[in-house]
Amino acid sequence: GAGVSQSPRYKVAKRGQDVALRCDPISGHVSLFWYQQALGQGPEFLTYFQNEAQLDKSGLPSDRFFAERPEGSVSTLKIQRTQQEDSAVYLCASSTSMGQETQYFGPGTRLLVL
């Protein structure tokens, strides 16, 4: 079956520009996670949804970052007024439920802010 998909795969933005990153989780997966991965580092948690409810956003680095999942399926991570330090790979993962269930990751969106 189809896995987690993300779009775009690559995004180049000028500093100050707004960007929107999309995640299509595996159909039926309740939980959805967003991560930020800097070069040479492991993924760092940003935020977590259970269905349409955003249960944890403690990892979002600033109020310029905003995530939503309005119908409990597709999710969008929006970054306003991008800065160079936002350059990273943004990963989305989904799982069947909460807790320590296996997460299925998408390929990520590589964002470069110039």
Partner 1 sequence: LAKTTQPISMDSYEGQEVNITCSHNNIATNDYITWYQQFPSQGPRFIIQGYKTKVTNEVASLFIPADRKSSTLSLPRVSLSDTAVYYCLVGEDGGSYIPTFGRGTSLIVHP
Q: Give contact residues for partner 1 (rule: CB under 8 A).
A: 4, 33, 35, 40-45, 48, 55-56, 58-59, 91-93, 98-100, 102-108
How many DSSP H helices and E strands does the chain contain? 0, 11
Least CB distance to partner 1 at residue 113 (A): 19
Cβ distance to partner 1 smaller for residue 84 or 100: 100
Cβ distance to partner 1 smaller for residue 19 or 92: 92
Cβ distance to partner 1 smaller for residue 62 or 97: 97
Least CB distance to partner 1 at residue 22 (A): 15
* Cα 77 from Cα 47, distance rounded (Å): 10
DSSP classification of residue 25: P
* Cα 55 from Cα 37, distance rounded (Å): 21
Q: How far apart are the first and last CA of the chain?
A: 37
Least CB distance to partner 1 at residue 31 (A): 9
